[in-house]
Amino acid sequence: MIRCTFAHVDLDALESNYRALEAFLASHTPAGRRPPGIVAVVKANAYGHGAAPVARALERAGATMLACADIEEGIALRQAGVEVPILVFGALSVSDLEGLFEHRLTPTCSTPGAGRALQAAAARHRTVLPYHLKIDTGLNRLGFRHDNLERTLPELFASPNLRCAAVYTHFATADDPSHPLFDRQLERFAAARAFLAARGLGPVTTHAANSAAVLRAPGTWFDSVRPGLLLYGLAPGPFRDVLALRPVLSLRSRVVAVKNIREGESVGYGGRFVAPGPRRIATVPAGYADGLDTRLADRGAVLVNGRRVPVVGAVSMDMLAIDASSGPVYAGDEVVFLGEQAGDRITVTEMASWIGTIPYEILCRLGSRIERRYNRA
């Protein structure tokens, strides 16, 4: 049995976006300098697109490194046949570190505790482990505080089995051109790099730019950039027109039932939608267990037969209802939640705006029972 609700993932579009980004970086890099490398972010199941096929496609496209959230994600990529270096972003001080060595993963060191744990593990393996050093310049999650490095870093740098291969930071407000924190973080990162250089840390790879920073500020590119959302065809809010991208994922289903209801009758749990007149209601087999937000009720729409059809009544676990009164709709008709049909398109950004969230959440919430279908392996 194949569920009729599925996500189509266009790997050609993914690779096209990678090449478009590569060309953008090359065209905006000063003459005589090498364009930055691309660390392709594939955490959270490649933003809901499917980590293994996406990672293999990005590796083919030329990504110099992939990045994931934790060791378990990195192991899954190696088991899928990925060979390119893999950076692990997450905290490691309470993790089982054996996977780093067995699967050739590059850890982030972001706390003194993580440094001690990594040193002990590397000593047990009788190896020198390269790591990326994360500096906290204002996001205030993980990372060595930019203003406390003289106190916190000596122990890490004295670790005989660890080698700092790169230094990086992460921006909190890159997608908000009016927020002053972005420039403050960049200044703090410059000061931290100067501190590290003065204390003998030789030239190492430097990276800082997430998707928004890539489009906003070439001064943040350094040796590598770390795009995530851009690769999947979405540019952060104020930078949507900077780079031509192709959406990678569409979400589709089919109508499974249609019925007529009378004026005053309600639809769905709670009776929230009450028909103001005779209505033709179609049922679609997708709900919040598939990652469709309950706030789409009476706010969102889908495409059916080239028309926008509103979602009405409560979004339930396994299905939702649409008001199909505006034209012919029959069982078996295609329903598009995200994607194009007959010249119209519902984008991830538009769906996010309906419910007051961000595009990242729309993509990452797509459920595990949603089959991902790829146009190629």
pLDDT at 93: 66
| Residue 134 among the catalytic residues | no
Q: How far is CA 166 from CA 100, 115, 136, 186, in A?
A: 17, 14, 14, 17
| Residue 43 among the catalytic residues | yes
Q: Which residue among 43, 47, 168, 288 is the active-site one?
A: 43
Q: What angle do CA 150, 204, 44 make, to 5 degrees?
A: 95
Residue of 76, 10, 19, 16 whose CA lies nearest to 42 = 76
* Strand, helix or coil for residue 45: helix
pLDDT at 376: 81
Cα gap 75→65, rounded to integer Å: 15
Amino acid type, 128:
V
Report the predicted TM-score, pTM, of the whole model to 2 decimal places: 0.94
Q: Which residue among 168, 259, 269, 330 is the active-site one?
A: 269
| Positions of the chain with pLDDT under 70 | 1, 93-94, 377
Q: What is the DSSP letter of 284?
A: E
pLDDT at 200: 87
What is the average pLDDT score of the chain?
95
Q: Which residue has the tokens 């780093």?
A: 100
Backbone angles phi and psi of 278, in degrees to 5: -55, 135
